Amino acid sequence: MSCSTLSRPRGEWVEGVLARARADDGIGQFTRFVLVGGSTSALYALLFVALHGMGEQPANWIGSVITSVLANEMHRRLTFRAGERVSFLTAQVEGGALSIAGLVSTSLALAWLTAATSTDDPYIQFGLVALVTATIGTLRFIALRWLFRPRADALP
């Protein structure tokens, strides 16, 4: 950001950021993807810590399933604005396949962490899950952007 951008009144700056997030180009979609991902990751963290007494794997699986369904729907409707092009079920099947890859990756990472360090600290475990999820999230954005794109045969 330039000095002139920072010196603008706060309202103008906020409006500029909101306008950027509303855009339908890749940057706008990525901004919305990060906002949806961040909010569902926060929910996952709450679920993971709340359910940690069941063990890290059940907490990971339950938190992942609940937040993946929510994230897939939010990405369908908000991130990619594909609510009229892609059904709820299609989004869950296509997005769910990507979520399963993430779930397997986080489960393997948690198993490795527990075996390597014997830690039972849910905050350290969540930190590892967050790192793995951020990496997979980038790949997921690319895949969902392709899956939820407007189809050439559906264009007027």
Is pLDDT above 90 for 143?
no
* Residue 76 pLDDT exceeds 80: yes
Q: Can you tell me the mean pLDDT for 96-120?
A: 90
Look at residue 4 and tell me whether its pLDDT is greater than 60: no
Rg (CA), the chain: 18
Which is higher by pLDDT, 148 or 122? Answer: 122
Bigger pLDDT: 21 vs 110 = 110
154 pLDDT above the threshold of 60: no
Gap between the Cα atoms of 19 and 137, Å rounded: 24
pLDDT for position 20: 83
- Mean pLDDT of the region 77-97: 89
Percent of the chain past pLDDT 90, that is, above it, reads: 49
Comparing CA positions, the residue from 136, 107, 37, 138 lying closest to residue 79 is 37
The answer, yes or no, to whether residue 153 has pLDDT greater than 80, is no
Top-confidence residue, 44 or 14: 44
Q: Can you tell me the mean pLDDT for 106-131? A: 92
pLDDT over 80 (residue 54)? yes
User: What percent of the chain has a predicted confidence (pLDDT) above 70?
Assistant: 92
Contact yes or no for 98/37 (Cβ under 8 A): no
